[in-house]
Amino acid sequence: AQKITQTQPGMFVQEKEAVTLDCTYDTSDQSYGLFWYKQPSSGEMIFLIYQGSYDEQNATEGRYSLNFQKARKSANLVISASQLGDSAMYFCAMREGSDYGQNFVFGPGTRLSVLP
Amino acid sequence: NAGVMQNPRHLVRRRGQEARLRCSPMKGHSHVYWYRQLPEEGLKFMVYLQKENIIDESGMPKERFSAEFPKEGPSILRIQQVVRGDSAAYFCASSSGLIYEQYFGPGTRLTVT
């Protein structure tokens, strides 16, 4: 079974508009972390934002915010005021709680294209 | 404060040759992870190492692939007798036990001809 589902293979957004990238996850652990990474065409993986399962507030980092709905097991990324440089692949990832550390499971990604 | 370093950035090997990919974690990080990314796909976990120990290798193919993280020096991902299907981007990430996020290197793009 898929642990991380990203149902939007591709998304388009107009520059300066907000966009939401969907992510749902599957875990039976009580302690876990959710992450979003950006991969531009140059290929590097850039960490964007983190949400812990026990965090009560939604995480925010500049123009990025994470809409965390624990009961629905969703962790959608919201990008406000899109910029052309936001065009990239976006990956949702989960770290399940474990004393042995931090195996991340990644979703298949969403390709975001920002239109001028 | 140097980030995670990987070399080489691009590697071309003929079928049957060996590929050695290197990863130097961020300063102060003792946890290293290797991932493989096939074209147009997400990252797939391969192996998680701490200094001199393999903690979790559940994502490693059983044959031809090995990884190490010696006491001194970088972590090495070794692929013996490469085949065309090994062509992919291989990412290394590192973290501290105290910090949740993993920091990724720029990746090594392996092409098998």
Comparing alpha-carbon positions, the chain B residue that sits nearest to A48 is B101
CA A102 to chain CA centroid, Å, is 17
- For chain A, say whether B57 makes contact (Cβ under 8 Å): no
Instruction: Compute the Cα dihedral for A93, A98, A101, A103 and give only its sign.
Output: negative
Distance CA B105, CA B86 (A): 19
Q: Which residue ranges in chain B fall short of pLDDT 50?
A: 98
Give which of A34, A45, A54, A110 to mutate to test B binding, by max B Cβ within 10 Å: A45
Tokens describing residue A14: 């107009």
What is the average pLDDT across A47-54? 91
Q: Which residue in B has a C-alpha nearest to residue A36's C-alpha? A: B101
For A72-89, the pLDDT digits (tens) are 999 999 999 999 999 999
* Minimum distance, in Å, between the CA of residue B3 and any CA atom of chain A: 12
**What was the pLDDT predicted at B95?**
86
> Which of A30-44, A93-107, B85-99 is predicted least confidently?
A93-107
Model confidence at A39, pLDDT cuts 50, 70, 90, reads very high
Q: Which of A2, A23, A38, A104 to mutate to test the interface with B (most CBs of B within 10 A)?
A: A104
B41 close contact with A: CB closer than 8 A:
yes
Please write the tens of the pLDDT for every residue from A22-31: 999 998 888 8
Distance from A77 to chain B by nearest Cα, in Å?
16
Cα separation of A65 and A72, whole Å?
17
Round to whole Å and give the CA distance between B7 and B11.
9
Residue-level pLDDT at A2: 66
User: How far apart are alpha carbons B35 and B81 in whole angstroms?
Assistant: 19
Q: What local confidence, expressed as pLDDT, does residue A67 receive?
A: 96
Integer-rounded Cα Rg, in Å, for chain A is: 14
CA distances from A106 to A24, A37, A116 (A): 11, 9, 30
Residue A96 has a pLDDT of: 75
Q: Cβ A33–B91 below 8 Å, yes or no?
A: no
Residue A100 confidence (pLDDT) above 70: no
Task: Give the alpha-carbon dihedral of B62, B63, B69, B71, to 10 degrees.
Answer: 110
Residue B96: predicted pLDDT: 82
**Alpha-carbon gap, residue A4 to A59, rounded angstroms:** 19
pLDDT score recorded for residue B55:
87
Q: Closest approach of chain B CAs to the CA of A80, in angstroms? A: 22
Answer whether A10's CB lies under 8 Å from A67's CB.
no
Spatial contact of B52 and B76, defined as CB atoms under 8 Å apart: no
pLDDT of residue A97: 61
Q: Of A35, A103, A108, which is closest to B101 when you measure between CB atoms? A: A35
Say what the pLDDT of residue A31 is: 83
- First-to-final CA distance of chain B: 37
> What are the φ and ψ backbone dihedral angles of B84, each rounded to 5 degrees?
-60, -35
> What's the whole-number average pLDDT of chain B?
91
Q: pLDDT class for A10, splitting at 50, 70, 90?
A: very high
Asked if B64 and B80 touch (Cβ cutoff 8 Å), the reply is: yes
Q: What letter would DSSP give residue B2?
A: -
Confidence of residue A93 (pLDDT cuts 50, 70, 90): very high
Query: What is the CB-side half-sphere exposure of residue A10 using CA atoms within 13 A?
Result: 4
- Tell me the residues of chain B between 89 and 108 that have a Cβ less than 8 Å away from chain A: 89, 91, 93, 95, 97, 100-107
Q: For position A101, what pLDDT does the model report?
A: 53
CB-CB contact of B107 with B7 (8 Å): no
State residue A98's pLDDT score. Answer: 57
**Is A102's CB within 8 Å of B95's CB?**
yes
